[in-house]
Amino acid sequence: MIDAENIKHELKIDARALDIPDGAAEEFIRRSLVDAKKKVSDKKIITKMDLERAVSAELKKYNSDLAYIYKNRDGII
């Protein structure tokens, strides 16, 4: 089961580390998750990678650095 609350929590930490104001970050994380869920809702099976890709694409509209970190979190070490 993909945990949207967990993703939200991780993104909030990332946003704070990027000095994005809390209010703004919360708003566009919420919008990105909602839009990403809509994007993947037509799939029969939604993998973690599908959701990550969709969330990253939506986040890019608001903040490219946050989207980059979210997409490449596993590619640092």
Partner 1 sequence: MGIIFSVGAFILVTVILLLMQLKPSLFMLFYHSVYGRTSKKNVNHLSLYYIFGAMTTTSVLVAVCFFLTFDSSLIRWVLAGLVLAAGILFCLFYFQRGRNTKLFLNRKLANSLTKNAQSVKKPSDAFMLGSMAELPELIFTLPLYVVLALGLGGIEDAIARTSLGIIVVLASVISVMIVWGFYKSGRNLANIQRFRVKNKQFLRFFITGCYLILMALLIASEILK
Site residues (vs partner 1, CB under 8 A): 12-19, 64-66, 68-69, 72-77
Take residue 9 and report the two structure tokens written for it: 């929590």
Cβ-Cβ contacts under 8 Å for 57 (sequence gap 6 or more): 36, 39, 67
Question: What is the closest distance, in whole angstroms, from the C-beta atom of residue 36 to partner 1 in the complex?
Answer: 19
Based on CB atoms, which residue is closest to partner 1, 20 or 33? 20
Question: 1 vs 76, which CB is nearer to partner 1?
Answer: 76
Closer by beta carbon to partner 1, 13 or else 38: 13
- Tell me which residue of 55, 49, 11 sits closest to 33, measured CA to CA: 55
